Structure 1
């Protein structure tokens, strides 16, 4: 794929209304993606640790875009995702880093980690992604 495709994907990420809540910084390259977000007070559960939904957010998005980085015609869908929590997140930022590990005609698999601002791994995950019928060029931010 081209850098132009990767920059369009970054714009598509930024254009999605839900992603405005996170103020994330998405960087995409061939078969890889990194999403870094600031941790807000509203991310914490009652015990003052980052709630697991935010681990999933950075992992699903980074794995999705690692897979989408090699598909330029249609939008991918998350078909399944497995997430493991390994430690609480420390600091004020968190990141998901992912890479594409398998691609067939019908599905792609990406694996990633959640990192705290010190670089410690706080979670791991893998996603299975399938091609949809939605053309990328028709989607806000990409086309």
Structure 2
């Protein structure tokens, strides 16, 4: 790591995540470690579709964010970008704490490949996804909240 230790980088990524305006709606909590990110969101009625279960956008957000931050944990200087992401919704959920775990499964000079799984409060898989992420030209130091 250039200016920050690995642990400081992980904490700065979590701070950046919390600062994102979209997260005022979802109220997620995140922990980042080397090649991994864990996100939790308490499912509530504001996350529901018309039939009373959690909307797929919540699944996607949790899956993409966990995979994204797992990837960015391995990139200390630049913000990464999601270039593609595939989502599978495997079970409905309507209450409790949802937890997604993202892990980098491959990386090279130009991209990261990460997978993620989201679980309901009983530990059952409710969705999974995988994505490709690439380094952008934006320095993390220039991203609001990365401190």
CA distance in 2, matches of 1:37, 1:51: 13
Deviation, 1:44, is 1.0
Deviation, 1:90, is 4.7
List alignment gaps of at least 5 residues for structure 1.
none
Q: Deviations over 1:67-111 (max 9, x none)?
A: 000101110000000011111125322111110001011110100
Alignment match, 2:111: 107
Match status 1:36 vs 2:40: yes
Contact 1:100-1:109 at 8 Å conserved across structures: yes
CA distance in 1, matches of 2:7, 2:116: 21
Alignment match, 2:98: 94
State how many pairs are aligned: 143
Match status 1:81 vs 2:71: no
TM-score by length of 2: 0.94
Alignment match, 1:11: 15
TM-score by length of 1: 0.96
Q: Deviations over 1:32-75 (max 9, x none)?
A: 00000111202111111111000000000000000000101110
Q: CA RMSD in A?
A: 1.0
- Greater CA drift, 127-136 or 83-92: 83-92
Give structure 1 regions of 4+ aligned residues with deviation exceeding 6 angstroms. Answer: none
Alignment match, 1:27: 31
Alignment match, 1:135: 139
